[in-house]
Chain A
Amino acid sequence: MTMQTHHRCQLTIIAEFVLEARLVALVKQLGAQGYTVHEVRGGSFSTDGERHREGAGDTDRTIEMKVICERATAETIAQKVLDEFAQHFSVRVTLAEVEVFRPAKY
């Protein structure tokens, strides 16, 4: 049996832990029906030196937030997140196509 699926977008926001409350408020305001958040660790190897975020203290902690929604909503959220936070905070935003079983949830 093949289950019927529906296309949606999964927005993944990797950001500083201190932004969590503001990101949750933002995605709610822009029409997302839900989100998941978990803590992650990571770093970058840019030319101006390695930097690692290991979760030592609140300003060194990192969250990964996932929001599954319609593409238009995902793009609006992504734009707003980048406009508001990308200049001064560590923020990464990616978008991926996913298939969901219950489209009304997203």
Chain B
Amino acid sequence: MDPLILLFALGVAARLARSDLRFPEPVYDALSIYLLLAIGLKGGVELSHQPLADMIFPAAVTVALGFAIPFVVFPALQHLVRLTRADAASVAAHYGSVSVVTFAIASAYLERRGIGVESFMPVLLALMEAPGIIAGVLLARAGGLGGAPVLREVMVNKGVVLLAGGIAVGFVVGSEGYASLKPLFSDLFRGVLALYLLELGLVVGGRFADLRRAGWRLVVFGVVSPAIFGVTGMLCGTWLLGFSPGGAVLFGVLLASASYIAAPAAMRMAVPEANPALGISASLAVTFPFNVFINIPLLTLLGSTL
């Protein structure tokens, strides 16, 4: 069993047992900054080894899919989950955007099994952060809802800056320049990810009460949506984009994951009418564990048969 998963489960259990264990907010912030930057830097270095032209089409498809997902899930959220327009738009934005930690766990899962992936996957991750959020805002605005303009905030939120910035720095300095940073950003990566997952488990454990209020329909959505988009992404990665089996699995995970850092803050400002607990509880307390425990292993298994 993967220690990362066990530490996440420990966090959930500790929270449910009402332990006083908690990470100070600055530590949580620092861990997420480290993870975003490490993924960006490593992706940039890998990218410096191959022609950029290879990723233009996948990049365009990624942005298009990230933008399209909220429009696909929005009617389901309105009519099947029975959310108001504001709530449906907000939750849809969470599912159009991505979870960096789910991506990191999937990458680590594939790496442990010796399954290679395309080197530009972190670029696709960075590209998929913002379009879903913008689509969610448009869905709310179309119904006459919405508050402050958020385009600038979305484009320069810390996730995008650290990922895209890390990729740019990694790309410029290449393997040689990265060598001096490798002990911190590569060798310690899994250890820091483990700490982050322990903290995330504590947060998830505290979200179950919100989930009970949100109702079973949202829980079902939180499982069905990533299951469908995971397979869609994997098939799209294989047949449309010509990815390797590992790359296709990781692309499926990108589509399946839901944001719980960038989207909640952006949607809180952009659509203040929406209940912020719905999106974050569904993405963090349902979709994240579903992806980690079931979807990633299942997609990997499925990927090996394609």
**Complex interface: chain B residues within 8 A of A56 (CB):** 202-203, 206
Interface string of B248-264 (1 = CB under 8 A from A): 00000000000011001
Contact A18 B206 (CB under 8 A): no
Q: Is B276 an interface residue (CB 8 A)?
A: yes
- Cα distance, A54 to B199, chains bound together (Å): 13
Which residues of the other chain, A, contact B260 by a CB distance below 8 angstroms? 57
With contacts A16-B268, A18-B268, A18-B269 taken as known, whether A59 is within 8 angstroms of B276 at the C-beta atoms is yes
For B202, the chain A residues whose CB sits under 8 A away are 56
What residues of chain B lie closer than 8 Å to A22, measured between beta carbons? Answer: 148
Least distance between B261 CB and chain A CB atoms (Å): 7
Residues of A73-89 whose CB lies within 8 A of B: 85, 87-89
> For residue A16, which residues in chain B have a CB less than 8 angstroms away from its CB?
268
B206 & A58 in contact (Cβ 8 Å cutoff)? no
Contacting residues of chain B (137-184) with chain A, CB-CB under 8 angstroms: 147-148
Interface string of A45-83 (1 = CB under 8 A from B): 000010000111111010000000000000000000000
CA distance A61 to B264 in the complex (A): 12
Give A25 Cβ to nearest chain B Cβ, in Å: 11
Q: How large is the interface on B (under 10, 10 to 19, 20 to 34, 35 or more residues)?
A: 10 to 19
Q: Are A88 and B206 in contact (CB under 8 A)?
A: no
Question: B272 — which chain A residues lie within 8 A by C-beta?
Answer: 85, 87-89
- Is B118 close to A, CB under 8 A? no
Q: Tell me how far the C-beta of A53 lies from the nearest C-beta in chain B, rounded to whole angstroms.
A: 11
For B261, what are the chain A residues with a Cβ–Cβ distance below 8 Å? 57-58
Q: 0/1 per residue, B115-138, Cβ < 8 Å to A? A: 000000000000000000000000
- Describe B's contact surface by its main secondary structure: helix
Do the beta carbons of B213 and A49 come within 8 Å of each other? yes
Is the C-beta of A99 less than 8 angstroms from some C-beta in chain B? no
Closest A residue to B158 by CB, please name it: A58
A39 within 8 A of B: yes
Q: Is B25 an interface residue (CB 8 A)?
A: yes
A58 contacts B148, CB within 8 Å? Answer: no
Q: Does chain A have a CB within 8 A of B228?
A: no
Determine if B294 is an interface residue (Cβ-Cβ < 8 Å). Answer: no
Give B187 Cβ to nearest chain A Cβ, in Å. Answer: 28
A49-B213, A56-B203 known; A61+B280 contact, CB < 8 A: no
Docked complex Cα distance between A87 and B147 (Å): 12
Give the docked Cα–Cα distance between A16 and B276 (Å): 11
Q: Which residue of B lies closest to A87 (CB)?
A: B272
Which of B260, B264, B272, B273 has the most chain A CB atoms inside 10 A of its CB? Answer: B272
B265 x A59 contact (CB < 8 A): yes
Asked whether B265 lies within 8 Å of A18 as measured between CB atoms, the reply is yes
Task: A49 to B213: give the CA distance in the assembly, Å.
Answer: 10
Closest to A41 in B: B25
Seen from chain A, the residues whose Cβ lies within 8 Å of a Cβ on chain B are 16, 18, 22, 39, 49, 54-59, 61, 85, 87-89
Complex A-B: 21 CB contacts under 8 Å: A18-B265, A18-B268, A18-B269, A22-B148, A54-B22, A56-B202, A56-B203, A56-B206, A57-B260, A57-B261, A57-B264, A58-B268, A59-B264, A59-B268, A59-B276, A59-B280, A61-B25, A85-B272, A88-B147, A88-B272, A89-B272
For the complex with contacts A58-B261, A59-B280, A61-B25, 9 further pairs of A-B residues with Cβ separation under 8 Å are A18-B269, A22-B148, A39-B25, A49-B213, A55-B25, A57-B261, A57-B280, A59-B264, A59-B268
Sorted from nearest, which 6 A-B pairs have the closest CB atoms? A88-B272, A58-B265, A56-B203, A59-B264, A59-B276, A18-B268
